[in-house]
Amino acid sequence: MRTLKEAKVGETVLVQSITGTGAVKRRIMDMGITKGVQIAVRKVAPLGDPMEVTVRGYELSLRKADAEMVQVE
């Protein structure tokens, strides 16, 4: 299993689980990132932080640390 951070630009991935706990997990879930949701990676900054993604029709910016906690297939 890989993380959202490893997904390439232009790729659409399916969320399997979120490994964070407490406030970190709640923040990720508040963005609409939950199990079974598709995420399209639109853009990644040159150093990998932040990632621009599309989730449920919304364009979001994710920190690299948060993207590492999202398991995808």
Q: Does the pLDDT at position 61 exceed 70?
A: yes
| Chain segment 24-57, per-residue pLDDT in tens | 899 999 999 999 999 999 999 887 688 999 999 9
Residue 20 confidence class, pLDDT cut points 50, 70, 90: confident
CB 70 within 8 A of CB 3: yes
Rounded Cα distance between 19 and 10, Å, is: 24
Rounded Cα distance between 4 and 69, Å, is: 8
**How is residue 14 written in tokens?**
């399916």
The mean pLDDT value for 12-28 works out to: 92
Q: Span 2-72: which CATH code? A: 2.30.30.90
pLDDT of 48: 67
Domain ranges of the chain: 2-72
